[in-house]
């Protein structure tokens, strides 16, 4: 990897880690998720990075792809298990990290299981490691601690303006010939639920995050407005709350874009048995001594 590119990954990761820690600090019972989202995304820009994806604030059985709406009135409860997934980039080079916060004692061991699995997986992020070994240690660590990994959620590689490059890194063991390469950027993110869970997620009908995949001319003014915002993202996702249009106009414009296959949507993902899910994630540059770009003293 070119040193200039590596430095951008490192800088993006440092900012992502700092912002994740800030998000964790301000996420408290009684707080609106909209206020959290706006504060976190403003801090990313204030620190000199760009937003790689809208902060995911996924509560309880929701695993991913949930974020605040423009007029979102949802408030964090002391009973909640809250996943905070933060992404930054410098010139397209990404830092991707997540943590889980909860306040009830019964949820703390679930969170620790994902953190421990992440720690064990990072140790294996060395050149030549078989990808299946990383997935196997994630699964073993979570199950040994009495929880279930989410089998159909994965970590992933990172590329320039590409949040989900090769390889895909499952959270359960599998057979593969794929091995990690020196200075390869990857994001490892164990997800786990309790024993009563299915250990699987399903797509819901809610869709709050979108990505431009096939730009083409459209007639609807609101659709053109959405495309204008999407084009500035260089292929990275955006939430509907960044779009000035609202109400019926927004829905009509969005429908045209989806009908014409101009946008890709990210459905909100939920645990099949509606059990709580925890998540932990770091970005790593593979090496004999793995470099965790998103690591801070707090995580």
Out of 21, 96, 139, 256, which one is annotated catalytic? 96
DSSP helix, strand, coil percent of the chain (3-state; round to 5)? 35, 30, 35
Please identify which residue in the block is written with the tokens 């014409």.
260
Q: Is 156 a catalytic residue?
A: yes
Q: Which residues of 257-275 are buried (b: 16+ CB within 10 A; e: fewer)?
A: beeeebbebbbbbbbeeeb
Out of 66, 115, 256, 281, which one is annotated catalytic? 281
Cβ contact 23:55 at 8 Å: yes
Residue 106: count other Cβ atoms within 10 Å of its Cβ: 11
Out of 144, 164, 203, 231, which one is annotated catalytic? 164
* Cα–Cα dist 157/131, whole Å: 11
Out of 61, 80, 85, 271, which one is annotated catalytic? 85
Out of 50, 156, 256, 271, which one is annotated catalytic? 156
Q: Is 166 a catalytic residue?
A: no
**In terms of Cα–Cα distance, which of 146, 143, 196 is closest to 171?**
143
Please identify which residue in the block is written with the tokens 């301000």.
26
- Distances 270 to 8, 63, 204, 235 between C-alpha atoms, Å: 33, 6, 7, 25
Q: Is 107 a catalytic residue?
A: no
DSSP state string for 77-146: -TT-EEEEEEEEEETTEEEEEEEEEE-SGGGHHHHHHHHHHHHHHHHT-STT-BHHHHHHHHHHHHHHTT
Q: Is 65 a catalytic residue?
A: no
The conformation of residue 173, written as its DSSP 8-state character, comes to: -
Q: Is 69 a catalytic residue?
A: no
- Distances 258 to 17, 54, 242, 254, 265 between C-alpha atoms, Å: 34, 20, 18, 6, 8
Q: Is 96 a catalytic residue?
A: yes
* Cα–Cα dist 52/234, whole Å: 10
Give catalytic residue positions: 85, 96, 156, 164, 189, 281
């Amino acid at each position: 990897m070119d040193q200039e590119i590596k430095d951008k990954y490192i800088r993006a990761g440092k900012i992502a880690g700092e912002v994740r820690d800030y998000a964790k600090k301000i996420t408290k019972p009684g707080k609106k998720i909209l206020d959290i989202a706006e504060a976190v995304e403003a801090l990313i820009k204030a620190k000199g990075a760009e937003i790689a994806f809208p902060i995911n604030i996924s509560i309880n059985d929701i695993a991913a792809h949930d974020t605040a709406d423009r007029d979102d009135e949802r408030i964090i409860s002391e009973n909640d298990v809250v996943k905070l997934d933060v992404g930054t980039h410098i010139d397209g080079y990404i830092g991707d990290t997540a943590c889980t916060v909860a306040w009830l004692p019964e949820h703390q061991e679930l969170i620790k299981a994902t953190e421990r699995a992440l720690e064990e997986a990072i140790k294996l992020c060395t050149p030549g490691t078989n990808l299946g070994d990383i997935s196997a240690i994630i699964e073993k660590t979570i199950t040994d601690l009495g929880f279930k990994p989410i089998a159909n959620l994965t970590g992933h590689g990172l590329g320039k303006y590409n949040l989900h490059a090769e390889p895909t890194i499952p959270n359960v063991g599998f057979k593969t010939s794929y091995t990690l390469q020196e200075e390869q950027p990857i994001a490892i993110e164990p997800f786990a639920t309790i024993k009563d869970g299915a250990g699987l997620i399903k797509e819901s009908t809610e869709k709050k995050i979108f990505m431009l995949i096939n730009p083409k001319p459209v007639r609807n003014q609101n659709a053109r407005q959405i495309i204008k915002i999407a084009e500035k993202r260089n292929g990275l996702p955006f939430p509907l709350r960044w779009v000035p249009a609202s109400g019926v106009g927004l829905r009509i414009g969005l429908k045209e874009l989806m009908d014409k296959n101009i946008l890709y949507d990210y459905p909100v993902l939920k645990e099949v048995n509606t059990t709580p899910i925890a998540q932990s994630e770091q970005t790593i540059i593979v090496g004999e001594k793995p470099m965790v770009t998103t690591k801070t003293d707090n995580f």
